[in-house]
Structure formats: structure tokens, C-alpha cells
Amino acid sequence: MTTPKLASRMERIVPFYVMDLLARAKQLEAEGRSVIHMEVGEPDFITPEPVIEAGKNALYAGHTGYTAATGIPELRQAISDHYGRSFSIDVDPARIIVTPGASGALQLVMSVLIDPGQEVLMTDPGYPCNKNFVELVSGVPVGVPVNADSNYQLNSTHIGDNWSDKTRAVMVATPSNPTGTVVERDEMARIHKTVKERGGHLIVDEIYQGLVYGQDGYSSLELADDLFVINSFSKYFGMTGWRLGWVVAPHAFVESLDTLAQNLFLSCTSMSQYAALEAFSPRCLDVLEQRRDEFRKRRDFLLPALQDIGFRIPVPPQGAFYLYVDSSGLTDDSFSFAYELLEAQGVAITPGKDFGIHKPEQHIRFAYTNSIENMAEGVRRIRKFLAR
Amino acid sequence: MTTPKLASRMERIVPFYVMDLLARAKQLEAEGRSVIHMEVGEPDFITPEPVIEAGKNALYAGHTGYTAATGIPELRQAISDHYGRSFSIDVDPARIIVTPGASGALQLVMSVLIDPGQEVLMTDPGYPCNKNFVELVSGVPVGVPVNADSNYQLNSTHIGDNWSDKTRAVMVATPSNPTGTVVERDEMARIHKTVKERGGHLIVDEIYQGLVYGQDGYSSLELADDLFVINSFSKYFGMTGWRLGWVVAPHAFVESLDTLAQNLFLSCTSMSQYAALEAFSPRCLDVLEQRRDEFRKRRDFLLPALQDIGFRIPVPPQGAFYLYVDSSGLTDDSFSFAYELLEAQGVAITPGKDFGIHKPEQHIRFAYTNSIENMAEGVRRIRKFLAR
């Protein structure tokens, strides 16, 4: 088999390293070994029953055809109502475009904004796909190294310092994957101002909205109507496999996003959209709030437990379901550490390497998408591993 | 509202013109007017019952999470089995990547193959999204004008004549949207040979496979294992709203396509994949074959009926559910004709403009995705319109 000539972007779009680790974990499990999973970026709950019921009803009703490329009007309205109810923000449903997951939203926004050679600022560490959506359209993702001193987030100073005449947009995620940290409201306002002053565009990833603990969440949509906000039914709403997200765009971009959605996606999955209408029902929100509470308990268990065995967590994460820990007191190579831990003790974690090039060898992401009981066993096993 | 600065590709990615016509048709219907639809590229049947049942069962079973980016193994195997059963071709399931519709497949293939500035040859007229998937990655779609003398399809001569040192791939669709014509097996072999001799890649769109009338279908996969074949559950299988397709790729490209699928899509809709397993069941195939027979009857009704009122159809289309008719004997502006017909008589059709720049004003696409009874009424109305 000869190596084919690939488009040059494929040199820069790499697989998730954790996939290999996951494959090895599955192999071990197939051999009868027990593996504690703390690497998975997906809630361990199935979709709430009311949504599943609504999905079945959508099938009964024969909703099996294409929908409008921007989503069914009822769902765009329901999302608008959600912003009104949860954040007291008035969002015109015409600005809401339903997409195949937040992935679809990210792709639309990058494709509509970024010309070849233009730069997009984002955090390093950050969600690995973000940079690849920029690569796809021959743009240049610029990872800005962030540390505990800025909550592992961009701030307005970073943006000023890293702005070039090629910078077109800034992307911020709050709460963030992998760090679980949030951008405080005041800082987001400064970021927005800084980006606008330079004539760029702000893109805010809010896909972990709703999964914030011990503080009230907010939406950056309260700041202005000239920014792009990306969201998803996957995380808080527990609908990963339904592939449904959305973007709220400035009015002036809606038509182009619609055109692009027609061409790239035709439409989102029909029954997913009808099912998602039920995601905002009181019955479903009750379930989701119970789950949020469970995630908070898990964070409150795992954070001190990891500190106790020697991981440093300089900024307590306030959201998502991740702890991004500094492992440099225990290893100088988090990647090997992760593989050795898996082989020796059957614990799966995600080494920093998947999230960027800024000190990845000193960091590990733990996902608390597993029960406290299982995580306690995981921590016991890590303790044993460290005592080896 | 100021006009925003868009990425320059958006100058070349245009909305489907038929969307405006469709919006006007819906407006007329809301006002109480009757509209006969012959513009819609979607079967008028809902998804076969066995698939819907399987979808519900997938929800019961809790299949609501992410799957592997390349699709659930059972479905890749089922698609492989389908090639074995229907075309006696042995296709390694590892070469089959399940995608969010054929749209997702097209995007993966173009993204993996095409560098900025590289050219892809395709027919004009052709499916409008094809060129836009090339535009998205800053490639150059080259529309080759095709006429009745080549069945409105590319042949090896076209390819030789239009090849440049920037040509990277050739895309062929059989049966074709909008023309409904097929590329004969021998010609496809010559096309494949011509493309290979020049060191390019052949991409064959087979999304209307199964919807061929009065002749046996084939898959280009029988020619070689070095070409890309794109397919879909949308058309023959009647699953448009489930957003599911696939690509069969050369072995050497599978890893890159997987990486890209991880990054762009994460996974396809989970319940759609489990439901699609049932699409190949004898019970479902019975339904689909009845529907194919119905489409054949519709073609056999509509083709002479349109000829009878003055449209020319120099090549009888053998597949899909489209007639691409030469309207130059009745109008020199098919675009205005379509709008005037809609206003005057309530018949919706798709003018050639959506499919390219080669004589669009002389052509109209009729979709026979409507009952014979309704189409007969449509033809009566067009006759009245022509007698105005």
C-alpha cells in the first residue's frame, strides 16, 4: 500500500491521541481487565426520558424528511425562549441557526469568516477540533499559551499582545474543555471590546453552558448582538448522539450561514430536532438539574482526592466535567504516565498532548463522567501506581 | 445593518435559487392557492416502517451517545454485505466510512484530496453542492459543459480535453441530479482509466443507486479499489431526514478520512445508524422495490406527457427521479418561465439556473416525487399556461 498524496492540510489535522489509548483500554477490557474510565468527554447518562419519548413520537408522526437548513422554526423559537427564561436575554429566533452538533456550528462560522492565511486566536490548551476547523478552510489557528494566572483562559491583554494584521477572529470557550474554567463576565466584556476595537469577530463557545457549579452562569449574548455564540444539545442536555447544536449569529451573517448550511448539511437530523423541543420542558429540566447537581458532587469529590495524591490544581474549575491537573510533581511526561497507568492499573485518562503544545507533558485531563464510586476506585488505583 | 466582510469563498457559494421559488410557493399555499410540486428532490414517501421501528427500538435501547467517527461496525459490515448481495462485489468494511449524509462524505473526500488552487472536473449541469464542497477548501471546481450527445455526462474525451496540471480529481454522478442519466459501465471504465493515467482520483456519486429503471444498475466499485464511491441512505432507502450516507475509499485514505471525521463530525447520529441496519432487511427491500416500481411508472407517465406539450427530452433518463428537459421550444428564459408558471397556475419546477452556467436558461428540472394524479394535474396546468 503506497502512501497517498493528501491535501497539505492533513499534515496539520491530526487524530485525537486519546483514541489510541481508548483502543488499548477496550482491548484490555476485552481481555477481562477492569478499566476505570476518566477520559471520556461525554456524560455517562443516557438522554433524559422525556426527550427519548419525544424522539419516538417524532418517528410516529413521520418526521423523517429534510427540514429547513437552519432548523425547524419551532426549535429556533424554543431556543430563543430558553435564552429569555434562563438569562433574560431577548434573542431573535432569526439569528439562531440549528446545526449538526456544535461541530457543524463551528464549521459554518469559520467557513463564513476566514479566508486562507487569516488567523484565529484561541487558547492553548484548548479543544483540539477548534484549530482544525480553521485549518479546513486554510486559515491559521494561533494558539495563545494560557496558564493558571488567567484561569487557563484568554484575557484582553492576551488578545492585544497576539493581534496581528492577519487576525480575523478570537475564539473563547467558557466553561472550557479541557480546563473546566470559565471566563468571568467582566473579562468577557473586556475581551469583546478589545476584539471589536480591532475590527475582529468574537466567537464564544458555550457548549458547556448549564454545567457551572457554585455560581450563576451567563451567556455572552447579553453583551452585544455582534458576536457569534455556539452551543449544543450534547453536554448539559445529554444528547450527544443526536448531533444537534446551534449558533447565534449577528443578523448580517445569517443569510450567508443559511446558504452554507444548505450546501454543507442540507438539514440537521429531523427527529433530533423534534425531540430537542422537549429538552426545555420542566420535566426534562428537572432531570438535567439533578444531573448538574451530581456533576457538582463528583467535582467536589475528585478535586481534593487528586490533590491529595499529588496533582496540583491551581485554579478550581467551575464548570464542564473536567479537571485539568498539573501532573509535574508526579511525572515529567504525562503521555507515558497515562499509558503506564492504563497498563499497570487500568485507569484511563487523557494526557495533555491532545489539547495543544503548551506544556502538554505537564498536564492531564480527568473527566468526571463516571460515578463517585468508580472514581474512588480510580483514585485508589492511581495511588497504588504512584507507590510502585 | 452594514454588509459584513465575508470570507471570499462566500462570493462563489450561492444559495439554491429554487429556495426563493419554494418560499413563494409556500406563501401561495398559505393564501389558499393549490400548488403542484415538481421541484422537490426528496421522495414523497416517508421512511419505510421497518426502519422507523428500528429507530424507535434504538431509542428504547438507549443508543443516544456518540459512536465511532467512522460509524458503528455493524453498519459498515451491513453496507459491505449489501455490495456483496446486490452487486457481487467484495468490499472490505474497513474501507466504508459512514457519514452525515452524502454531504458529509463529499466534504471528507474533497477536504482530504484538494489543496487550494487544485481543480476538480465535474459536469455542468450538475448538483449545485458539488462545486461548493470544492470551494470550501479553496479548490477550483471546473464545470465541463455536457449535452445530450454524451447523455449529459462526462466521458473520457471530456476528461482528456479538460485536464490541466492543476487537475486533481474528477467527479461523476450516476444516475445524475439533475439529468437522471447514467454513465454506462464501459464508459465508466474508460473514465477511470483516463483519470488514473493522469495520476488523478475518480470520485463517483452513486446516491441514486437503486433508482434505475429498465436496466440493471452497477457500482463503480467493481472497476477497482482505488476510487472513491459516495452513497446515501436518503434517496433509494427513503431516509433523507436521518442524515446518513457513506463513502467507500481506497485503503490508503481511510486513516485520514477517519481523522477528519473525528474532527468535523465526531460521529453520525447514533439512532440513525442503528435504524439503517434495518434498511437492508428483506421486509424493507420489498417496500423499496415497490417504490422503485412506482417511480418507474411516474417517469413513464411524465416523460411523454411533457414531450406532448412541447418540452424536448433528447435522452430518456434512466434513473433518479428527475427529468431534465429542454424548454427552448417554449421559452428562452426558463427562470422567468418557472416563476410565471408558479404565479399563473400554481406549478413549482426547478429552472436550470441552479445546476450550472451551461445553457441553464434553456432547461428545467422536473422531479417526479409526486403522484401520477398530481403530476397529471400539473401537466394540465402547464398546458393551460402555454395556451395563454
- For residue A253, the chain B residue with the least C-alpha distance is B4
pLDDT of residue B364: 98
Query: Where residue B1 falls among pLDDT bands split at 50, 70, 90?
Result: very low
Q: Look at residues B231, B252, B280 and tell me which one is the last residue of a structural domain.
A: B280
* B216 is a domain residue: yes
Q: Which one of A228, A266, A278 would you mutate to disrupt binding with B, by most B Cβ within 10 Å of its Cβ?
A: A266
* Separation of alpha carbons B277 and B275, rounded Å: 5
* B1 is a domain residue: no
Q: Do residues A234 and A306 both lie within one domain?
A: no
Q: Look at residues A279, A295, A324 and tell me which one is the last residue of a structural domain.
A: A279
**Interface touch B243/A243, C-beta < 8 Å:** yes
**Interface touch B132/A9, C-beta < 8 Å:** no
pLDDT of residue A14: 86
CB contacts, 8 Å: A269 with chain B: 241-243, 269, 272
> Residue range A137-142: average pLDDT?
96
**Interface touch A2/B252, C-beta < 8 Å:** yes
> Residue range B14-41: average pLDDT?
92
Strand order in the sheet with B140-145: B96-99, B245-248, B228-232, B201-205, B167-173, B119-124, B140-145
Q: Do residues A210 and A300 both lie within one domain?
A: no
**Interface touch A241/B267, C-beta < 8 Å:** yes
Q: Do residues B291 and B363 both lie within one domain?
A: yes
- For residue B63, the chain A residue with the least C-alpha distance is A241
Statement: residue B371 has pLDDT above 60: yes
Q: Which one of B262, B273, B274, B355 would you mutate to disrupt binding with A, by most A Cβ within 10 Å of its Cβ?
A: B262
- The DSSP letter of residue A212 is B
- The percentage of chain A sitting over the pLDDT mark of 90, rounded to a whole number, equals 94
Planar angle of CA B56, B60, B65, nearest 5 degrees = 95
A310: left (phi over 0), alpha (psi -120 to 50) or beta: left
Nearest-CB residue to B241 (from A10, A16, A270): A270
Q: What is the pLDDT of residues B276-291, one digit of tens each?
A: 999 999 999 999 999 9
**Interface touch B241/A64, C-beta < 8 Å:** yes
Query: Where residue A2 falls among pLDDT bands split at 50, 70, 90?
Result: low
Q: Do residues A122 and A219 both lie within one domain?
A: yes
Q: How close, in Å, is residue A166 to chain B by CA atoms?
A: 13
* Separation of alpha carbons A354 and A19, rounded Å: 10
Alpha carbons within 13 A on the beta-carbon side of B202: 28
Nearest to B118 by CA among B165, B173, B157, B171: B165
Report the mean per-residue pLDDT for chain B. Answer: 96
**Interface touch A13/B253, C-beta < 8 Å:** no
Q: What is the pLDDT of residues B174-233, one digit of tens each?
A: 999 999 999 999 999 999 999 999 999 999 999 999 999 988 899 999 999 999 999 999
How does A25-40 read in b/e, with b if 16+ C-beta sit within 10 Å?
A: beebeeeeeebbbbbb
* B2 is a domain residue: no
* A295 is a domain residue: yes
* B3 is a domain residue: no
Other beta carbons less than 10 A from residue A379's beta carbon? 20
Q: Do residues A238 and A156 both lie within one domain?
A: yes
Nearest-CB residue to B263 (from A13, A46, A260): A13
Residues A115/A139, Cβ–Cβ less than 8 Å: yes
**Helix boundaries (H) for chain A:** 17-30, 49-60, 73-87, 101-113, 128-136, 156-162, 185-197, 251-264, 270-276, 282-308, 334-345, 372-386
Query: Where residue B4 falls among pLDDT bands split at 50, 70, 90?
Result: confident
* Separation of alpha carbons B26 and B310, rounded Å: 28
Query: Where residue A1 falls among pLDDT bands split at 50, 70, 90?
Result: very low
**Interface touch A243/B128, C-beta < 8 Å:** no
Statement: residue B354 has pLDDT above 80: yes
Planar angle of CA A36, A38, A39, nearest 5 degrees = 120
* Separation of alpha carbons B199 and B9, rounded Å: 27
Other beta carbons less than 10 A from residue B90's beta carbon? 11
Q: Do residues A80 and A196 both lie within one domain?
A: yes
**A297 contacts: CB under 8 Å, gap ≥ 6:** A372
HEC profile of chain B: CCCCCCCHHHHCCCCCHHHHHHHHHHHHHHCCCCCEECCCCCCCCCCCHHHHHHHHHHHHCCCCCCCCCCCCHHHHHHHHHHHHHHHCCCCCHHHEEEECHHHHHHHHHHHHHCCCCCEEEEEECCCHHHHHHHHHCCCEEEEEECCHHHCCCCCHHHHHHHCCCCEEEEEEECCCCCCCCCCCHHHHHHHHHHHHHCCCEEEEECCCCCCECCCCCCCHHHCCCCCEEEEECCCCCCCHHHCCEEEECCHHHHHHHHHHHHHHCCCCCHHHHHHHHHHHCHHHHHHHHHHHHHHHHHHHHHHHHHHHCCCECCCCCCECCEEEEECCCCCCCHHHHHHHHHHHHCEECEEHHHHCCCCHHHEEEEECCCCHHHHHHHHHHHHHHHCC
**Interface touch A240/B64, C-beta < 8 Å:** yes
pLDDT of residue A15: 86
* B54 is a domain residue: yes
Q: Do residues A20 and A55 both lie within one domain?
A: no
Q: How close, in Å, is residue B171 to chain A by CA atoms?
A: 17
Nearest to B100 by CA among B343, B221, B276, B225: B276
Q: Look at residues B250, B280, B310 and tell me which one is the last residue of a structural domain.
A: B280
Query: A116 — phi, psi (to 5°)?
Result: -50, 135
Q: Which one of B243, B251, B254 would you mutate to disrupt binding with A, by most A Cβ within 10 Å of its Cβ?
A: B243
Q: Which one of B52, B167, B269, B272 would you mutate to disrupt binding with A, by most A Cβ within 10 Å of its Cβ?
A: B269
Element containing residue A325 per DSSP (H, E): strand A322-326
Statement: residue B113 has pLDDT above 50: yes
| Upstream peptide bond of A175 is cis (omega within 30 degrees of 0) | yes
Query: ipTM score of the complex?
Result: 0.95
> Residue range A7-33: average pLDDT?
92
* Separation of alpha carbons B67 and B74, rounded Å: 11
Q: How close, in Å, is residue B330 to chain A by CA atoms?
A: 31
CB contacts, 8 Å: A13 with chain B: 259-260, 263
Q: Do residues B64 and B92 both lie within one domain?
A: yes
CB contacts, 8 Å: A128 with chain B: 263
Residues B54/B60, Cβ–Cβ less than 8 Å: no
Q: What is the pLDDT of residues B59-92, one digit of tens each?
A: 999 999 999 999 999 999 999 999 999 999 999 9
- For residue A135, the chain B residue with the least C-alpha distance is B137
Q: What is the CATH number of the domain that holds B153?
A: 3.40.640.10
Q: How close, in Å, is residue A310 to chain B by CA atoms?
A: 33
* A2 is a domain residue: no
Nearest-CB residue to A112 (from B7, B238, B241): B7
* B56 is a domain residue: yes
Q: Do residues A288 and A222 both lie within one domain?
A: no
**Interface touch A136/B136, C-beta < 8 Å:** yes
Domain total for chain B?
2
Nearest-CB residue to B241 (from A7, A258, A269): A269
pLDDT of residue A3: 62
* Separation of alpha carbons A260 and A247, rounded Å: 13
Alpha carbons within 13 A on the beta-carbon side of A110: 31
Q: Do residues B104 and B191 both lie within one domain?
A: yes
pTM of the model: 0.96
Q: Which one of B42, B46, B59 would you mutate to disrupt binding with A, by most A Cβ within 10 Å of its Cβ?
A: B59
CB contacts, 8 Å: B46 with chain A: 62, 64-65
- For residue A256, the chain B residue with the least C-alpha distance is B10
* Separation of alpha carbons B74 and B366, rounded Å: 37
Query: Where residue B40 falls among pLDDT bands split at 50, 70, 90?
Result: confident
Q: Do residues A97 and A244 both lie within one domain?
A: yes
* Separation of alpha carbons A345 and A167, rounded Å: 46
Q: What is the CATH number of the domain that holds B348?
A: 3.90.1150.10
**Interface touch A56/B52, C-beta < 8 Å:** no
Q: What is the pLDDT of residues A271-326, one digit of tens each?
A: 999 999 999 999 999 999 999 999 999 999 999 999 999 999 999 999 999 999 99
Statement: residue A215 has pLDDT above 90: no
- For residue B4, the chain A residue with the least C-alpha distance is A252
pLDDT of residue B2: 54
Domain that includes residue A335, residue range: 8-46+284-386
- Three-class secondary structure of residue A107 per DSSP: helix
Residues B123/B152, Cβ–Cβ less than 8 Å: yes
Q: Do residues B102 and B230 both lie within one domain?
A: yes
Query: Where residue A216 falls among pLDDT bands split at 50, 70, 90?
Result: confident
